[in-house]
Amino acid sequence: MRLVDPTVLGRFSLVGKRGIVTGGSSGLGLAISRLLARAGAEVHVLSRSGRVKTGGAGPDPAGIVHHAVDVTDTSVATAAVASIGGPGLDFLVNNAGITTKKPATDFTVEEFRTIQTVNVDGVFALCQAAFPFLTMAPDAGRIVTISSMAAHLGFDGVVPYCASKAAVTGLTRGLAVEWAGRNILVNSVAPGWFPSEMNRQVMDPERQQKILARMPLHRYGEPDELANAVLFLLSPAARYITGIDLPVDGGALAFGY
């Protein structure tokens, strides 16, 4: 049996790295946090509950620290980033986000603004807060924000969410260009359809049938399949990648008609 070259495995290792994941108490954020910890990172998870929500399969691996922080409260969230970042930061994963399903004509300005505040303003504020610590990372600081298929495709019933995720991709490209000379790589990952609480909020049988029909792989993604993409972008293997939105979508964006 051939042995794997350890230098190859090392390209995907996060041993010695430390960073922050928002919205990591359940669902996709929990899967991301746990995979990064299993790859060797010290992972600080920010969530309103400050713990794994009911239904989280099994205990956390070593290396995860939970913090009760509401990332919609900018002053509290930025203070938490500053406190955690004291010893240095290697990465920030912006995963927290919200949506509401109803016709565009029924949204109030306040409801539209709330979704932008969490999904766009909150992400920008955390990037700003993490910036001075990420600039000092030995192997380049990394920011990965979870975007969405809604950044690329239109969906009825979630127009404010579409707008917010399109803004996330613009923010990713802008920061990638501006901070390239400051030792920071900035990317985003666009999930397709995964068994998350947010997707359950907007899913009905008719929409589910349409979604599965237009995906070449004709199945939902597994949480670890998204987490793998985040791990790659945070790893030394991705040191020449910045400013992209990486689809993890079962081929949905490639599908024609």
Whole-number average pLDDT of the chain: 92
pLDDT score of 58: 78
Torsions phi, psi for 189 (to 5 deg):
-125, 130
DSSP run (H or E) holding 159: helix 159-178
Domain 6-248: which CATH class?
A: alpha beta
Please tell me whether the overall predicted TM-score, pTM, comes out greater than 0.95 for this model: no
Active site residues: 161
Q: Is residue 165 within 8 Å of residue 150, measured between CB atoms? A: yes
Share of the chain above pLDDT 90, in %: 78
Classify burial at 163, counting beta carbons within 10 Å of its beta carbon; exposed 0-12, middle 13-18, buried 19 or more. Answer: middle
Beta-sheet pairing, 64-68 with 42-47: parallel
pLDDT score of 84: 97
Q: Which residues contact 86 (CB under 8 A, 6 or more apart)?
A: 133
Q: Please write the tens of the pLDDT for every residue from 123-181.
A: 999 999 999 999 999 999 999 999 999 999 998 999 999 999 999 999 999 999 999 99
Classify burial at 122, counting beta carbons within 10 Å of its beta carbon; exposed 0-12, middle 13-18, buried 19 or more. Answer: buried
pLDDT at 55 over 70: no
Q: Please write the tens of the pLDDT for every residue from 206-246.
A: 777 777 887 889 888 999 999 999 999 999 999 999 999 99
